[in-house]
Every structure is written in C-alpha cells, then in structure tokens.
Chains A and B, each alone.
Chain A
Amino acid sequence: MRPIFSPQSLPELFSIRNAHPDARLMAGGTDLLVRLRKQPADDRPLILLERIEALQRIETADTEIVIGAGVCFSRIATGECATTEIGVLAQAAATIGGPALRNMATIGGNVCTASPAGDSLPALYVLDASVELASAQGTRIMPVGEFISGPGKTQLGENEILLAIHIPRKRPAWTIQRYEKIGKRKSLAIAVASMAAALHLDENGIVHEARLAWGSVGPTVMRCPEAEEALLGRRLAADAIEAAAAFVPGSVRPIDDIRATAAYRRRVCANLLLRLLDS
C-alpha cells in the first residue's frame, strides 16, 4: 500500500516533502495513475496537490494572466480566464481528453509531464508563457521552453513544485489565435500533430508579428522561425501561407510511432498552417 498525503497549504506540502523525499507529486492524476498501475511494486508515497488553494487561482493583472498549476483544463476551456486574450490556450484545453478528464487534468500536470504530445504546450510557447517554481526557500521564474528540456524532462528541482503559469498580456492583443489538433477522433485522442498560432495583423490586414509552434512532432514543442518570418509584412492569403508552410516539414523532427509515420506528420504540420486561411 502506498501512503497518501493531502496537504492543504504550501508550507504543509514542503514539510511533507522534507520528511518523505521519495514521495511523488500528483496533480490531476490522469497520467500518473495510469503509469503507476503498470508498476504495482512501486510504493513510493503520493502527495495530492488538489487541496492546495494557492494552486487553484486564476488572476488577471495589468501585465499578465497567472494560472495556478492546479487549475484543471475545463476551467481554462470555458472562459473563466479571459479566454479572448489567451484564446489559443482555451482552444487547446478544449481538445484534451473528454469533459470528465478535463475536470481532473491540470495545466501544471501537463507542463510537468512534458510529453511531446502535451496539448497545452504549443499554446503556452506561442503565448510566451513562463513557469513559476516554488520551494521552501523561495520562487524562481523561467520561460516554459527553457523549463521543458526534453520528452518527460524538466528543470524542476527535487524540492520544488510548479506553482503557476504566467502569461504576459499582449498589447495590442493578438488578432488571430488558433489551435489545431490532428488525432484519431475529436475526443479522447492523443495528438498525432498539433499547431498553435498567434498572429498580429495591422488595420490593413498585414502580418506584423507571427508566432507558431507544433506539438507531437519532436522531442519537445517545435518552432519554425523561417515560417514566422515568411509571413511578416504580407497579407494572410494563400500565397503567403504556402510560402511559410514550405519551411515547416524541414523544421519539425517527428518520429514514426504507433499513431503515425514521421513523413505523414511532416506533411500534416505544414498543412495545418493552411487552416489559418479560414481565419
């Protein structure tokens, strides 16, 4: 049997961790409990994070939106957190699992699991999100792209937890935000490929700023600066998007796996960009 702790506050959490350095943290449990079931001999203690109030906040400040690591995806998907400003994240959240799973799975869990297929990650990259890490000694902040260092790998220290995600408020706001996901079905499917896009267009419809990121096509989220640059100064029309899309297959680093071949993924990544034409 596995001991279970359910701290109500951060100080309580840090003291439990101090006493049980081998304990694992569990947020929503939707990934962890599946993994642990395959390891019945593992009896390391579990520390449940769901009752810690400090992880549940969503705050909109002057310059940023702060989402507690324990916030579940149904809250992010349904507009409680100023979804127009961070719409690409809300769209990504809505594609995760199904309704009941979204009531459990958390944004902090998705970031710390650092799966190449993590649905919220491309959205967080294009929104320039940072993670706030906390330990008994204090907090530190770093960009999400720096925090995630490889598949399943993060910079989270042994005594640290992910406290919150910080998303800078874009001024002026992004004109277009899009999240696209290719899976076997619309629900309950792991991404074969996904794309997040945030674009700023001026009053004449000319692209001023473009941020693009792809998921499930590399060890972590993949960017393509050449494609972003190819859109700048141009109208968001078929020729510009096709020019940008030409850079994508060479920039992503997909593998063949049970869900799709690498060749298919390269092609579909570029094609996802064409969906911006429907904007």
Chain B
Amino acid sequence: MTHRLHFTLNGQAISHPCDPDCRVIDLLREQMGLTGTKEGCGTGECGACTILVDGTPKLACLMVAAQLDGKSVETVESLEKSEEGRKILQAFVEHGAVQCGFCTPGMEMASLAMLRSGRPLDRMAIRSGLSGNLCRCTGYVKIVDAVAQACKGTDR
C-alpha cells in the first residue's frame, strides 16, 4: 500500500506517493533529491541528519515517512532562503567552521533552532545546543565561534 504523503518541505506543499515506512533520510535524499541532509551513523548517535519538524530538531534517520504527514519539514537547503539561515551560513564560512563538511548540515540546523529559540546563548549554551552533533575534524571551537557570531543581536 503506497501512501500519499502530504507535508510541507522547505516552505513548499508536497503531495508525494511513497512507502509509509521509508526512512525520512532516504525520502529526502533519494526521492526528494535533497542530499544536503547527511546520514552519519544511522542510529541516532551523531546528529548529521538533523532536520526541523514543525520547528523542532529531529533525526531523519530515526523517523519513518508516515510521521511527516501534515508536518512542516526544514532541511539545510532552506537556510539560504531566510535571513537567520544566511547569517548561519555566512558565520560558518567566516570562521572556517567547515572542514570535511559532513556534520555541517546537522550543525547548522541545530544552530537554527537555537537562534530561533530566543534564549540567551553564551558559549556553554551553544555547546549544549550542539551536544547532539558530532564533528570529527574541527575540534568544535570554530563551530562554536560561528554560532556565537550568528547569534549576535538575535537575543530577544
């Protein structure tokens, strides 16, 4: 029984036939062609596949397509379309926060959720907000620097 999935993907309404038990990471990458979202561990231990579902960070490797019905999904591809997203992208570039780049989409989506939360973000809060995202290259300092810059002036 192929399921017709209705959801919003990066602001666009989607109606898509797919297997309801298809993993969201596979749906995004293989069927939607959005290969920005990465699969790292596939078991919820690295955060590379972090996406936002109704604004909340979730792991695309541990969700099935049926869970997206009626939801709004944002992936790393949406960042360039918003001011806060562009702020994050620019800060990552300026601080050299990207090395191999595999963790970057997840890091940036976790950062987007932090920025939008309106919480005051000191370096400890940023580290805690990124604590579900592993990076094996940078040592994290430049990533935290980038998020700290992106957050400047966004505290509400």
Contacts and interface: CB of A to CB of B under 8 A. Distances in A.
Interface of A: 1-4, 6, 28-30, 33-34, 37, 46, 48, 50, 97-101, 103-104, 186-188
B64 A29 contact: yes
Nearest to B19: A1
Contacts of A29: 62-64, 67
Interface stretch (B29-37, B41-49, B144-152): B41-49
Q: Is the interface of A mostly helix, strand, loop or mixed?
A: loop
A99 B131 CA distance: 7
B64 A100 contact: no
Contacts, number: 81
A48 B3 CA distance: 15
A2 to B, nearest CB: 4
Contact of A101 (B19, B20, B132): B132
Contact of B57 (A1, A2, A100, A187): A100
B67 A48 contact: yes
B62 A99 contact: no
A253 B35 CA distance: 46
Contacts of A104: 58-59, 62-63
B62 A34 contact: yes
A28 B58 CA distance: 10
A187 B44 contact: no
B50 interface: yes
A56 to B, nearest CB: 14
Contacts of A2: 20-21
B67 A50 contact: yes
Nearest to B21: A2
A103 B58 contact: yes
A34 B20 CA distance: 17
Interface string B2-31: 010000000000000001110100000000
Contacts of B47: 98, 100, 188
Nearest to B20: A4
Nearest to A38: B43
Max chain A CB contacts within 10 Å: which of B59, B129, B133?
A: B59
A3 B20 CA distance: 7
B138 to A, nearest CB: 16
A34 B113 CA distance: 25
A208 B109 CA distance: 48
Shortest beta-carbon contacts, A-B, top 4: A98-B132, A187-B131, A100-B57, A4-B20
A150 B50 CA distance: 33
Contacts of A37: 42-43
A104 B3 CA distance: 23
A152 B134 CA distance: 29
B45 A188 contact: yes
